[in-house]
Amino acid sequence: MNLLNHNPVVFWLIILNYVFVVYSLHHLVFKSHYNLNQRLTWMAVLWIVPIVGPAIYWFAWNRRSI
């Protein structure tokens, strides 16, 4: 069964979610100033919590930057 042919909206939402997760991981590893334990915790949140994980990360990052 091909997901793209049956549900193209779901397919693109899944792809968009993974792009957002990868971008958040890149930011977390290369551009943040968290210590190792905090980075590992955020990595787990980004991969385990599907949709709201990246949103929580960016919300926390913006709150930390203020």
Average pLDDT over residues 27-50: 89
Distances 49 to 1, 6, 7, 18, 46 between C-alpha atoms, Å: 26, 25, 22, 12, 6
pLDDT of 28 above 80: yes
More confident residue, 20 or 3: 20
Instruction: State whether residue 30 is helix, strand or coil.
Output: helix
Mean pLDDT of the region 4-32: 88
Torsion over CA: 49, 12, 55, 29 (sign):
positive
- Residue 24 confidence (pLDDT): 92
**Average pLDDT score over residue span 36-57:** 88
pLDDT(47) > 80: yes
Task: Say yes or no to pLDDT of 1 above 60.
Answer: no
